[in-house]
Amino acid sequence: MPRKSTQRIDGLRRSLADEAARIMADQGVADFLQAKRKAAERLGIHDVAVLPRNVEIEAALRERQRLFEAGSHALSLEAQRSAALGAMRLLEGFQPRLVGPVLTGTATAHNHIQLHLFADRSETVAMRLLDARVAYTMHEHRIKMDALRTVNYPALRFETQGRAVDATVFPIDGIRQSPYSPVDGRPMRRADAREVSALLTRG
């Protein structure tokens, strides 16, 4: 491919990544594919070959947060992690793990806190929330476990410290295998309450 064509494609990809990151930050779009499509529509780009990878969008989001939202992002992230830790302590009997943008540090103010819980039945988690007088709703999360397998798991949505929490309930032995990350396709990073507490201590 001619050098100018390569440079043009790289430039378009960077522009799309930047615009997708802006959409995720400003409009609360959490899904990478949706953000890409909105960015492509906004910029009038119709060639799917130049769509950025999710890791490129995440990198653009980190850079945007560093340059334009350093103070506000740090405060928002601290509040989200504090709320996550509170929820994890409430649900400590289910080996809670924090995952997603609140853990990795790229969460926008719109992101829900994502937890993985481990139990024989999702009803036992629901009972714990009822005992604590925490209102919740039930739904399902479609989780990619590996290159060939996608599984629907029960999930509970509730609020703590004014923050929305999405808690996906895996079987007890599900703690042994982390699902694929939607960002890079590698096993998703999980953090227990001690690790989240350490993140808050480090600031």
**Residue 171 in this model has a pLDDT that exceeds 80:** yes
Q: Look at residue 118 and tell me whether its pLDDT is greater than 90.
A: yes
Place of tokens 């925490």: 134
User: Is residue 121 over pLDDT 80?
Assistant: yes
Q: Could you tell me which residue, 130 or 202, shows the higher pLDDT?
A: 130
Same domain membership, residue 172 and residue 158: yes
Instruction: Say if residue 56's pLDDT is above 60.
Output: yes
Closest residue by Cα to residue 152 from 138, 170, 126, 176:
170
Give residue-wise pLDDT tens across range 6-47.
Answer: 788 888 999 999 999 999 999 989 999 999 999 999 999 988
* 75-116 per-position pLDDT tens digit: 999 999 999 999 999 999 999 999 999 999 999 999 999 999
Residues 132 and 64 in one domain: no
Over residues 114-121, the mean pLDDT reads 97
Q: Is 200 strand, coil or helix? A: helix
Total number of domains in the chain:
2
pLDDT of residue 147: 83
Residues 81, 173, single domain; the answer is: yes
Q: Are residues 21 and 121 in the same domain?
A: no
Q: 163-170 and 136-144 as β-strands: parallel, antiparallel, unpaired? A: unpaired
What is the model's pLDDT at position 2? 55
| In a shared domain, residues 93 and 59 | no
Boundary-marking domain end, from 68, 89, 121: 68
Are 48 and 90 in the same domain? no
Res 3: pLDDT:
56
Residues 53 and 87 in one domain: no
User: Cα dihedral sign for 110, 107, 197, 168?
Assistant: positive
pTM of the predicted protein model: 0.90
- Statement to judge: residues 11 and 47 lie in one domain: yes
pLDDT score of 1 more than 60: no
**Mean pLDDT, range 38-63, rounded to an integer:** 93
Final residue in a domain of this structure, among 68, 101, 122? 68
**40 and 91 assigned to the same domain:** no
Same domain, 16 and 109: no
Q: What is the pLDDT of residue 9?
A: 82
* Whether 36 and 81 share a structural domain: no
> Which of these three, 68, 84, 104, is where a domain ends?
68
Which amino acid is located at 32 in the chain? F
How much of the chain is in helix, strand and coil states, percent to nearest 5?
Answer: 55, 20, 25
- Domain of 178? 71-202
Q: What does DSSP say about strands 113-118 and 136-144: parallel, antiparallel, or unpaired? A: unpaired
CATH of the domain at 137: 3.30.460
